[in-house]
Amino acid sequence: MPQILVIDDEVGIRELLSEILTDEGHDVATCENATTARAWREARRPDLVLLDIWMPDTDGVTLLREWAANGQLNMPVVMMSGHATIDTAVEATKIGAVGFLEKPIGMQKLLASVKQALERVPKTAGALSLMAFPRSAPLKDLRKRLEQVVAKSRSVLLRAPHASVVELAARSLQPAGKAWIDLGNDSTPLTLEMLEQSNGGVLYCAELSRLSRLQQKNLAFVFERLERHNLRLAVATTCDVPGLTALGWEESLLNKLFDVSVGLPSFAELKDDVPDLATHLLTQMVEAGETPPRRLSVAAQNALRQQAWPEGYPQLKSTIKSLALAALDEEITAEDVQHLLTPGADLLPDVPPGLLPEMLTLPLREAREIFERLYFEHHLKLEGGSMTRLAEKTGLERTHLYRKLKDLGLRNTSKEAEECAS
């Protein structure tokens, strides 16, 4: 039995549509505004959504755009309104709506639209884009810069620090339902037919320096035909023109690619956005069927925020997938994060807050003694008090090790150490 979600702030319309569709054999759920609809959509996936455009908290087009940006627009959505303009209907269609019902809604028109929408091939989950992060100042600014650039240019170079949000930025240029061609994943020569089939889509390269000679030729072939086939090109690199020229690139092509560029924030600048990034990545993976239904606890989100991410966004993405696949319960906990990213962290010494800054103000001898005590306490605990393994781990001769423990006030940590040091 198909499940239909009706979202409208007018109770009379919700009840009428629910009654009609229930009589037709559908399972109908209703929401009075975008807030309740978001929560409902987070918990389950309907077969069809009837979405009112004008609502008091968030309008329907904005909610539709949110679902598209989150990778949650993998069900048909029919918009409803009694006051919408043609431009609004066109905008909703570009985002991904499959139909439009004008109020007052006639019964035959309603049933025909519902039947047509339910017969459509189910959508696959879309990719995550910058539009999913309206609360992040750096990501919001980046999206605005990209929108301004692509309004005048079909090609943009993403000047990317190592492991930045390159794909997230490039995906923001991809219209709903349009092609996505990763130039770095295929060495097959591109043809005019392939470009025609990709009309309106995006061609992408995560790092220019990794492209083979054939892939470079594909890029050059595409660059000259962007306008003709209504395509956009988003390429990224951490290199400059001389660096890429040294790798065999044609300088004339590089000059064209570097003509219009946008700088991306480093992943370190996005530390406070890690919980939001992680939550949206997980949602997208669940929607795409890559992982079982999972959610991140608040403690897990905080644990992820506190992590160092030397490999940036790709590392966060693979971490979320690993957590979701390995989690024993539906909720991913801070302990799950710790076990994956910092195994053995529970064995680390309990370092009092502020100790490191304090150590830096002490004379070298005193600071070294504090460090050595923490160091040996940690390894004694890690090796279960075994002096043999401790000697191997620290590289110290056993007699010297026993004396060192005694000098540090750790002589009672091990019975063996106590006996040998006396």
**Of all residues in the chain, what percent carry a pLDDT higher than 70?**
92
* Residue 68 in this model has a pLDDT that exceeds 60: yes
**Which residue would you say has higher pLDDT here, 56 or 145?**
145
- Is-contact 222 233, C-beta < 8 A? yes
Domain count, the chain: 4
* Residue 174 in this model has a pLDDT that exceeds 60: yes
Range of the domain at 277: 267-347
Tell whether 303 is covered by a domain: yes
Per residue in 333-381, pLDDT (tens digit) is: 999 998 898 765 555 566 665 666 667 778 888 888 888 888 888 788 7
**Which residue would you say has higher pLDDT here, 166 or 384?**
166
Radius of gyration (C-alpha) of the chain in whole angstroms: 29
CA 252 to chain centroid: 35
* Residue 413 in this model has a pLDDT that exceeds 70: no
Domain containing residue 387: CATH number: 1.10.10.60
Average pLDDT for 391-419: 72
One domain, residues 303 and 386: no
Q: Which of 312, 347, 382 is the last residue of a domain?
A: 347
Q: Which of 322, 347, 372 is the last residue of a domain?
A: 347
pLDDT band at 160 (very low <50, low <70, confident <90, very high): confident
Average pLDDT for 88-92: 87
**Which residue would you say has higher pLDDT here, 240 or 126?**
240
Most confident option among 65-69, 223-227, 402-406: 223-227
Task: State the Cα angle at 129 between 124 and 130, rounded to 5°.
Answer: 160
- Is-contact 300 336, C-beta < 8 A? yes
Average pLDDT for 248-263: 95
The C-alpha atoms of residue 145 and residue 112 are separated, in whole angstroms, by 42
One domain, residues 197 and 312: no
The C-alpha atoms of residue 80 and residue 63 are separated, in whole angstroms, by 13
Domain containing residue 246: CATH number: 3.40.50.300
One domain, residues 312 and 391: no
Query: Which letter, b or e, does each residue of 352-365 get, where b requires 16 or more Cβ atoms within 10 Å of its Cβ?
Result: eeeeeeebeeeeee
**Of all residues in the chain, what percent carry a pLDDT higher than 90?**
60
pLDDT band at 417 (very low <50, low <70, confident <90, very high): very low
pLDDT band at 258 (very low <50, low <70, confident <90, very high): very high
* Residue 77 in this model has a pLDDT that exceeds 60: yes
Average pLDDT for 127-131: 88
- Which pLDDT score, from 0 to 100, does residue 124 have? 66
Average pLDDT for 315-342: 93
Asked which of 40-54, 108-122, 337-351 is least confident by mean pLDDT, the reply is: 337-351
Average pLDDT for 279-301: 91
The C-alpha atoms of residue 35 and residue 33 are separated, in whole angstroms, by 6
Tell whether 248 is covered by a domain: yes
- Which pLDDT score, from 0 to 100, does residue 353 have? 58
Q: Please state the pTM of the whole predicted model.
A: 0.68
Q: Which two tokens stand for residue 317?
A: 């993405």
Of the candidates 200, 190, 204, which has an alpha carbon nearest to the alpha carbon of residue 235?
A: 204
Q: Between the CA of residue 22 and those of 6, 26, 57, what are the distances in Å? A: 12, 5, 27
Tell whether 70 is covered by a domain: yes
* Residue 110 in this model has a pLDDT that exceeds 90: yes
Average pLDDT for 314-338: 94
* Residue 384 in this model has a pLDDT that exceeds 60: yes
One domain, residues 259 and 148: yes
